[in-house]
Structure 1
């Protein structure tokens, strides 16, 4: 994509070398862990380059076809970088060149990747002066732009890698959780489920018996990850509060879940607020068979879809230095 005149002007204000980050897609909620559990995927990944600029503020160049806002306050990456700049008085401005690979609205952490990748790249330019917790805090401003809520269950695994538990938002308390090798199959039916809409339909009150069952599943899932107990992981991938409500927004959900388990998946559910559905498997071959089962459902229904067969990314955002544009 060739830059337009405004982009050329923005590029001319770049004052030095930059950093390119490759933030990956993520799965949030992980069935029973609404707003508190998430894990990173090895693919797909976005590509975001950040450069120091002599123009105050954050300047954005979109190098894709998604037509995302270029006003920093209205852009997920821009809001995150503005939060970082507020605590970086020695930096005048930043220029971001963004290439989105993770489709916005897919339910696999597209907005989180934008926010996380931007602040990780900026931090690399600043000789890593900020901690990972700080970067999550900055990136959460981007999530607020995307959904109206500062949640971290996509941001944290994207930055930290692996499986993360958000024990608390105020104060921010992120716990990295060891997990055994797990393969992930994701199907993204080409329908739209807005995060704000998916939050609006949730019940504000739940029965105590449902809460107790949910707490048991969350504890069991975390214990299963730590112990490397695949059977316990599978038994704990149950959501009695959120999934029964949100799944009505996703055609074919129940059949995808049923056929995926029959194909050997440990279990799974809605990725984030949807419409993507994820399934966990013990090995790559099973994950491929699960993909075929998912594809069968949406081919029959007549809904276009994309699938990803991947694994858990334990590294977090990859970043490298680049020369000035």
Structure 2
């Protein structure tokens, strides 16, 4: 069995939900506290044992390449001023072996993955979407690789979402269940309200076999007039077994405004240097809005603060 050593990170989207901020800045470079969202994704891949990463970019995404390159003048300045901890943090981003390819037309996620076919070759590979940050004790992708090594088949990262939100995701129709692992009977991309086969949503993590590229070669446009990866995986499931894994950890949707705001708040509260000031600012805002900060803060302390953020992100 070949091990999963390569990963694709699609980053060619236009980021229209964050305009005008993304007019000149890739949405993947928008920071959660002091780190671009795409860096969280790259770090998860590296911590999961991925050795080669290809980022599929588009026009106006050069800042991503610059971020993961050496910045000699900046690094020299930090070293000269004795800011060695900050220097180490800056240099971390340039030690990863990253490749780049452009998606020349905005044809959807399936097409973006297909663009990396020559880089992947005949190996199993991972796909990590930049809109989904997962905070977990064991990296989400590492959990999935462990499952892949047990079943040697495609694995989709899923978590249950509220029934009213199934229309936002690719949804799995499970056939059978073994703990957190499901055999997949079928998949539906963004099913209409009331027509979802389950509430298990595919949340930005995949391990796929190279056979998916042959399917994507002939994949027709689907939801939104784009080539959908979910549709191609549904065809793959007709030829070989596909599994879904309900991964452990908190998933954050940073691809839309509310999710981005809640993620930033959650990460700020989890940061020892920012926690106190952030909670104080939240309390002052609640008072200003006529809410009850004592009840809110008591509830916040009584449970994992990440639950508060994930209420809106699935």
TM-score range, shorter chain: under 0.3
Higher relative contact order (CA 8 A, sep 6+): 1
Q: Normalising to structure 2: TM-score of the pair?
A: 0.26
The two structures have a TM-score, normalised by structure 1, of 0.26
